[in-house]
Each structure stands twice: as structure tokens, then as C-alpha cells.
Structure 1
Amino acid sequence: MIHLVLKTSSGDPRQQLNMAAVVPAPPLSWRSHHSRTTVFYRITRKSKNKYSLHSIFTPIASLSLSAQTHQTKSLSFANSSTNRQFSSLHEIKKLCESGNLKEALDFLQRESDDVVLDSAQRSEAMGVLLQACGQRKDIEVGRRLHEMVSASTQFCNDFVLNTRIITMYSMCGSPSDSRMVFDKLRRKNLFQWNAIVSAYTRNELFEDAMSIFSELISVTEHKPDNFTLPCVIKACAGLLDLGLGQIIHGMATKMDLVSDVFVGNALIAMYGKCGLVEEAVKVFEHMPERNLVSWNSIICGFSENGFLQESFNAFREMLVGEESFVPDVATLVTVLPVCAGEEDIEKGMAVHGLAVKLGLNEELMVSNSLIDMYSKCRFLSEAQLLFDKNDKKNIVSWNSMIGGYAREEDVCRTFYLLQKMQTEDAKMKADEFTILNVLPVCLERSELQSLKELHGYSWRHGLQCNELVANAFIAAYTRCGALCSSERVFDLMDTKTVSSWNALLCGYAQNSDPRKALDLYLQMTDSGLDPDWFTIGSLLLACSRMKSLHYGEEIHGFALRNGLAVDPFIGISLLSLYICCGKPFAAQVLFDGMEHRSLVSWNVMIAGYSQNGLPDEAINLFRQMLSDGIQPYEIAIMSVCGACSQLSACDWGKNSIALL
């Protein structure tokens, strides 16, 4: 037996510790080539009543020289093997970071064949490569790696690797492969369930996400966690299913997950998308912890629902409030459209300055948002300057600049940029948004040839199938007076919505065939579609041009029954109808009942009285307009001058004009 005796350096009997540890000695035989070590422990006093135990290893002479040599070689080999393993894993990570995924896979296969990496390191290397495949959307390398994992008896049932395979396929845009991997798993933990829910949500298959979530909570013993619920809440937002979202909110409350920052952020975004800004604010204000995503979500919620000032106020509070977060790219690309929506160039320039200070102004998304902001604020020279300086332009950059010139009805510049985009970069192709930005400048017959060229491009590239694009072409052809072309586009549409009917119907109402507009209305209702406010406005215009009081009154009745008559656009169209049909006093009744009288409504009434030979009423209404403090435009002044000429009231007309 070997006895290990522990002695203290002090002679104090209280500090002498004698401990015998009985350890069976290994058998000594001629086959044994292992050296033996005797261990002595020394206890040193560190402070009063505190001691430290140290060990001193004193090797005993080996039984032979060959045994000592063998030990040295074994240690050397072990160190060399460890270093090589570390080096191999490091090399695979470097290849993944640089985007050389195929080389990383080949390197991993070679190292696996040479058994350089142990199982833990191989698993880690595979996981790193799977993540890189997802981030780079390299599904081919991902498939080969999936095959390698599946063929390995050691890793085919590995929970972590299978979870990463599910995620990799979803990031590559192939949730069906994610589901195939998920279904083949013999045992599933919560991580795999979360991965497949996330896969469907990431690829906007929101109904499938809700279906798999229902299966998770109904047929398994797993409980959703703070990773499951944000994905499910995002699916509710994608479906715009407020009721379902509120149910998940209740579930989060019962499970005590509602205070989790990720769950809270998802709820804010969901309520914002569903239009319940007050609920989003409640969630935001009751969060025990908020991060930058929380602020970005509430800023976006305000912006999406038209609360532009509140959105900017929240942004300001985020910067200077107690929490004081530093904005990121997502913050800036949310706030800049707010500045554009308000056409507030001062705020926009302030955000631009902040972006420069933070070094974010050269980020592509921020640069595109700045171009869009300046163009919508009608500062096209500044937008053009940023556009020209951007050496990483994408299709969004071009669309923002083209849209800016199109809004200014600059036909030449719009088409010049469209042509330049496709000649400067052969890979840059116009998309649906490009076409939608360009079409509004096609206003006259002189642009008809360019319009046809755009239409041909859309057909060749499959853009015509987009409903918005088809509707825009119908409207553009009608503006250019080519109603036959509009009807051909309409007839070739597989699915016709109310907007499609409106585009064609409005074209006929505004041009030479208002009766055709009424016929189209009847066809639309026969197809099972109900008219909206735009349909009613177009029909009233058609009736005005036909001077058809009978049809107009029927449409007026429909508008009253469906609550459309309160719409300002419909109200003005009704005034025009009755005036054109020689019923100005009926128009006056409608005018008197208007809650908010716009300048256009005053102009219509004054002009209507003058056109119907009622100059006294026109002048009296003009006086009332002035007394209400409303500044008239040219059309009202011209109408009053006409009324004065009818009454030979030259002096009154001169005085009125002088007063203005």
C-alpha cells in the first residue's frame, strides 16, 4: 500500500495534519512502461486560521529509459494533435467569415477523413458552416453538409445540428426543406419546434406558422418560451389577425412572459401593424426593460398609422430621454420617411446630420432613405447629389430618384434616368416599383410611344401580372387618350379588382364616352363587386357630363345608404352633378349641410350660380366667403366677374377685386 502523509511546516501540534490516504498501487510487471509519481502536500499559512494546500510532484525514477522516452513522445504527440485541431477549426471559421463556403466544406471533409478533429470540434465546425450557409443563402453547400450530417451515425440525431439545418434551409428561402428535416426527426425538443415556427414566419407563411404552433401546444408537452411567442406574434401581425394576436398576448401574460423584452417588442409591432396604436403604447409603457428595438417598434407603429408628429416625438425622446439610446440603421430608415411625409426639410436635414455624426450616412438603406426624403421635400438637387455620390446604388436608389423627378412631372429627366439605369449597369433591371414610378408622367398623347415601350418591357419581364402595374397601365393609357389600349390591358387581366374596374371606368368618365362608364359599372356589380368612393365619384362625373339627373340621383341614394356621401370628394362631385343638371338650389342644400366646406366647394358653388344665370346668388355667396375669412382663388374671382357682367355691376366688381 502507498501512504501519502501530509505535513505542515509549523511545529505547532494544532497545525500538524496527518492524513493517510489508502490508494491501491498499480501492478508492476514487465509490461508496465508507466512512471510513478509520489505526491507530497505542503500547507502554508495565509492568515490566521486559514491555510493553503499546495502539491509538489516529485517523479520517481522510471523503471527503464524506454518508458521515459515513450512518455515524452506521447505528450509531444498530444500537444501537436491539440494544436492541429485548434488550427483546423480556426481555418474553417476563417473560410466561413470570408464567404468561401465550398472551400470550408471541402476542408472539413478532408479533416474528417484524417480524423484530425474530435467529435465536439467536428460538431462545432459543422454548426459554424451551417450558420454561414444560411447567412450567405448558399443552399447548395448547405445541402451537401446536410447529407454529411445525415450519413453520420454520430451526428444524424444531434439536436443542435438538426436545429441549425432547419434554420439554414429557412434562411435560404426553402421552408419546405426545413419541414422535411423536422418531420424526419425521431425526437424533437423545443428548439426544433421553435426553429420550424421561425422558418414559416421568416418566409411569410404565416398560416403554416400558426398551424405548427397549434400542434406544438396541443400534442406535445413542451411549453412555448420567449423565442416561440415572438415568432407567433409576428405571424399574427402578418395575417393582420388582431383577435389571434390578442389571444397570444393573453397567453404570454398567463405564462409570465409578457415582461420579456422580445415578447414586448413583438407585441408593439403587431399592434402597430393592426392599427391599434393605443395598445402598442400601453405595451411599450409597461415594459420593465426596453431596448433599441422597442423604441424602433413604437416609432414605426406611429409612422405606419399616420401619427407622424408622435413618431418624431418618440424619436426625440429616445435620443434625449432617461434611457438615451443611440439610433441604428433601422431607426433612421423609419424616421426619414416621417420627415418626407410631413415634407419637413428641417427635420430631415437634422436627421441627415445625425446620420453623418454616427457614420451611418453611407449605409445603403440610409442613403436611399435620404434620397427619398429630399426628393419628396422637393429638394431634388440635394437628392441628386447624394445619388451621384452613392457608389453602391441598388434598384431602390434608382427608384427613389426616378420617383422624385416623376412627382415633379419632369418627363425628360424621368425617362433619361430610366434609360441610364439600364445602360450603366447591365445587371440592373427595372422592377414593378420602377414602372409604377414612371407611369404617372405619361399624361399626354405625346408620351404614348414611350408608354408602349414601357408596356412591352413589362410583358417581356413578367411585370404585367402584377395587379398594381396593370391598373397603372390602364390609367396611363386613358390619360394619353388610348382607351382601346386601356380596355385590352383590362381584358387580359386574370383577376379584376375594384381598382381595376375603377381605372377603366374613370378613363371613360373623363373622356368622350361617359355612357360606357355607366355600362362598366353595371358589369362590375354583376361580377359581384361593390363600388367604393372612387367608383361613385367617377360615376357622378359621368352623369354630370351626360346631364343625367335620373342616374345621378340613384347614385346619390346609393352613396347615402352606404355612408359614402360624407366623403369630401363625393360631396364635391354631388355639387357638380346638381349644378351641371341645372339644379343649383339642390346643390345649395348639400353645401349648407357640409360639415367642412373646402375652398373647392366654395368655388364650385359660386361658379355654378354664375353658369346657371343666378348672378345675385353668386355675388352673395362670394360675400359670405370673404366674411368667413376664406381667401378665394382665381376661379371664384372669375366667376364673380362673370356675375357682375350679367348684372352690369361694374363698380361692385372693381371694388371686390381692389379689396382682394
Structure 2
Amino acid sequence: MIIHGESTKYHQRLLRLLEATSRVRSLGATKCLHALLFTFGGTFSTQTTFLHNNIITLYASVKEFLNARKVFDRMPQRNTVSYNSMICCYSRFGCPDDAWRALKEMMACGLRPNQFTLGGMLSCASMDLSHGVRLQSLAMKSGLLAADAFVGTSLLGLFGRYGCLEETSLVFQDMPKKSLTTWNSIISCFASHGLVEDSMGLFCELVRAEEGTLSEGSFVGVLSGLARDKDLGFGQQVHGLAMKIGLDCEVPVSNTLVNMYVKCGSSTSLAERMFQDVKKKDIVTWNTLMGALAKSQKPGKAMELFKRLYKEDDVRPNQTTFMLMWVML
């Protein structure tokens, strides 16, 4: 029998192991923690639900869906966080029907869904539109749509995936609280669906409101939609702002800038200049310019770039690189 002092000691050790396992995110470490909880869980029953919830999340983080589900099914007690953890797991692995059943079971148990419940469900890439509308109705009735930006932003993502741009715009307009992620989401949505002017207008509105808090996603979102010669001037202004804030050196932003100059410039000269200025390059940076040079009937320059790539220590060609080279042969 484990006396109270020993129980406290084991409890503290388990919590320290949980913290360490959360940093490592390894299947072996998670299984060890799970085994220890199974062995000693009854000793400190007030904390077992908390520990089970975290183990579900850990299994999901290492893509062990079945193990996460086993933990959930065998839990002696569940709370809202338990259901949220499992709903997020279902959503991550593309199981919207299971997520929906978990939501119904949760509500039947008298537990009220919160913003993380609905946000987790709406983030499921395979969630169908009809279920999304039902979740929107539930969010409105429960007041969660107005409580903070999380549910509304997730709803924007759902409507955007299905190309429901009018619904996306209406949700955005009706949101009393908007986060930077909300703005980035709708800017990117409009840009990806060809509503370039709307995307540009929203970006300008965001700059006026929160210039100091713009993120990589703000720039990548608006720049990704610029593809016409007449967009070049605006793209250069966005480039200047990125330089002012210091985000032009971030790889996703610099890659999108190179791509913008490729699509909007009448020649590859601006894209080549941008490429030379980029301090941190990944394979996408190299492939973007090589592809542009190949399309511009400059195979010699593209081949020279390919040779330079092979001299890089931290970047290696991928399938796209070799396909570009194959097309030029």
C-alpha cells in the first residue's frame, strides 16, 4: 500500500515526466508515461483526468490516433477538456463523423462545448459544409461566436476551403472581436480565390489598424494573390513595408516576394535581384527562380543557378528541382 507521502511523491514525479514528455514528443516516452499512470493512477484520482487528457494530446502529436482513442475510451472520468482533446484528435486525422459523435455525447453528458470544442471541429479539413453551418448556428446560440475570435476565425477557414466567399465576408463583418489570425485568414482566402483588390484593401485596412503587429502570414497572404503586371507597384510597397518591419528576411515572406516579382514583372530581372538579396534561402526559393528562368527562355541562367545550388551546404534539390531541369533538357 502507498501511503500519502509516497502518493504525493509519485504524483509530483508524474507531473515532471509529463512536462518533459511534452517537450520531447516521442512515442516511447508517451507510452512510458501512460504505463506509469495506469500503474499509479488510482493513487491520486483527483489528477487522473488531467493526466489522461494530456496523454491523449501527446499521442495525437505523434500521430498515434488509435492509442489516443483507447485512452479516451478507458477514462474513468471525462471533462470538457477530455472531449476537446479527442475532438481535436479526430479533426487532425480527418474523422469529422467521429468528432460530431463526440460532440453529441459531450452535450448528452451535460458538458457545454466551448470555443475550443467548436474551433477544433471547424478546423477539420474534411468537415462538410452542412455540418459547418450547424456548428455556426450552435456558436451563435451559445454566444461563442461573439466571445472571442477563435470560433469565427475557424469558421472563416471552413467557408474559405469551400469557396463560399460571400459567407466568409459576412462572418468576418459580423465578428465583434478579430485577431491578427482572423485578418490573415480572410486576406489569404480572398487572394487565393482571385479577389485581389479585396485582399489588398483588407491588407491596407489592417496596416492602418495594427502596423506594428503584422506577421509573416499577413505578408504571405496578400502577396500570394498578386499575379498581374499592374499589381507590381502595390507588391513593391508591401515589400518596402516588410523591410521596414524586418519581416522580409523570414523565409516564407522572401519566397513569396520572389514569386511575386516572377509573376508581376515583365522580365526576370526584379526576381533575380530579390533572389540575390535574400539572406536565408530554402529549396522553394531556388526552385521559384529556376522555374521563372526556364519559362523565360533562359535555360543557361537556370542551369547556372542549379550548379550554384549544389554548392550550398544546407539546401538540397528535391523532386521539383529535377523536374525543372528535365523540362529544359
Does structure 1 residue 230 correspond to structure 2 residue 119?
yes
Gaps of at least 5 residues in structure 2 are 1-5
Q: Is the 8 A contact 2:14 2:33 kept in 1?
A: no
Distance 1:155 1:181 in 2: 17
**241 and 437 in structure 1: CA distance in 2 versus 1, 3 angstrom threshold:** farther
1:346-357 equivalence runs, <5 A: 346-357=233-244
Aligned twin of 2:77 = 187
**410 and 169 in structure 1: CA distance in 2 versus 1, 3 angstrom threshold:** farther
Q: Matched residue of 2:144: which SS? A: coil
Aligned twin of 1:373 = 260
TM-score by length of 1: 0.44
Aligned twin of 1:94 = none
Aligned twin of 1:175 = 65
Does structure 1 residue 333 correspond to structure 2 residue 224?
no
**125 and 320 in structure 1: CA distance in 2 versus 1, 3 angstrom threshold:** same
Q: Matched residue of 1:289: which SS? A: coil
Q: Is the 8 A contact 2:90 2:98 kept in 1?
A: no
Q: Matched residue of 2:158: which SS? A: helix
- Between Structure 1 and Structure 2, the one with more helix by share is 2
Q: Matched residue of 1:339: which SS? A: coil
Deviation at 1:426, TM superposition (A): 7.6
**144 and 388 in structure 1: CA distance in 2 versus 1, 3 angstrom threshold:** farther
**310 and 426 in structure 1: CA distance in 2 versus 1, 3 angstrom threshold:** closer
Does structure 1 residue 200 correspond to structure 2 residue 87?
no
Deviations 1:440-494 (CA, angstroms, capped at 9, x unpaired): x44xxxx3xxxxxxxxxxxxxxxxxxxxxxxxxxxxxxxxxxxxxxxxxxxxxxx
Aligned twin of 2:295 = 407
Q: Matched residue of 1:361: which SS? A: coil
Q: Is the 8 A contact 2:212 2:245 kept in 1?
A: no
Deviation at 1:307, TM superposition (A): 0.2
Q: Matched residue of 2:247: which SS? A: coil
**179 and 239 in structure 1: CA distance in 2 versus 1, 3 angstrom threshold:** same
Aligned twin of 2:191 = 303
Distance 1:286 1:384 in 2: 43
Deviations 1:58-110 (CA, angstroms, capped at 9, x unpaired): xxxxxxxxxxxxxxxxxxxxxxxxxxxxxxxxxxxxxxxxxxxxxxxxxxxxx
Aligned twin of 1:125 = 16
Distance 1:184 1:416 in 2: 60
Q: Is the 8 A contact 1:296 1:331 kept in 2?
A: yes
**364 and 320 in structure 1: CA distance in 2 versus 1, 3 angstrom threshold:** same
**421 and 184 in structure 1: CA distance in 2 versus 1, 3 angstrom threshold:** farther
Q: Is the 8 A contact 2:187 2:203 kept in 1?
A: yes
Aligned twin of 1:361 = 248
Q: Is the 8 A contact 2:18 2:33 kept in 1?
A: no
Q: Is the 8 A contact 1:269 1:297 kept in 2?
A: yes
**334 and 438 in structure 1: CA distance in 2 versus 1, 3 angstrom threshold:** farther
Q: Matched residue of 1:403: which SS? A: helix
Aligned twin of 2:3 = none
What letter is aligned with 2:178? R
Q: Could you tell which deviates more after superposition, 368-377 or 288-297?
A: 368-377
What letter is aligned with 1:407? K
Distance 2:64 2:255 in 1: 29
Q: Matched residue of 2:100: which SS? A: helix
Identical aligned pairs, as a percentage? 29
Distance 1:181 1:190 in 2: 15
Gaps of at least 5 residues in structure 1 are 1-114, 448-660
Distance 1:197 1:317 in 2: 35
What letter is aligned with 2:222? V
Deviations 1:31-61 (CA, angstroms, capped at 9, x unpaired): xxxxxxxxxxxxxxxxxxxxxxxxxxxxxxx
Aligned twin of 1:262 = 150
Deviation at 1:123, TM superposition (A): 4.8
**168 and 391 in structure 1: CA distance in 2 versus 1, 3 angstrom threshold:** farther
Q: Is the 8 A contact 2:192 2:224 kept in 1?
A: no
Deviation at 1:381, TM superposition (A): 3.9
Distance 1:227 1:329 in 2: 24
Q: Matched residue of 1:258: which SS? A: helix
Distance 2:253 2:88 in 1: 27
Aligned twin of 1:384 = 272
Q: Is the 8 A contact 1:182 1:196 kept in 2?
A: yes
Distance 1:422 1:167 in 2: 40
Deviation at 1:146, TM superposition (A): 3.8
Distance 1:226 1:312 in 2: 30
Deviations 1:415-434 (CA, angstroms, capped at 9, x unpaired): 44345434534872413x44
Q: Is the 8 A contact 1:303 1:338 kept in 2?
A: yes
How many residue pairs get aligned? The number is: 317
**129 and 209 in structure 1: CA distance in 2 versus 1, 3 angstrom threshold:** farther
Distance 2:255 2:44 in 1: 45
Deviations 1:525-571 (CA, angstroms, capped at 9, x unpaired): xxxxxxxxxxxxxxxxxxxxxxxxxxxxxxxxxxxxxxxxxxxxxxx
Aligned twin of 1:396 = 284
Tell me the C-alpha RMSD between the 2 structures.
2.9
Report which structure shows greater RCO (CA 8 Å, sep ≥6): 2
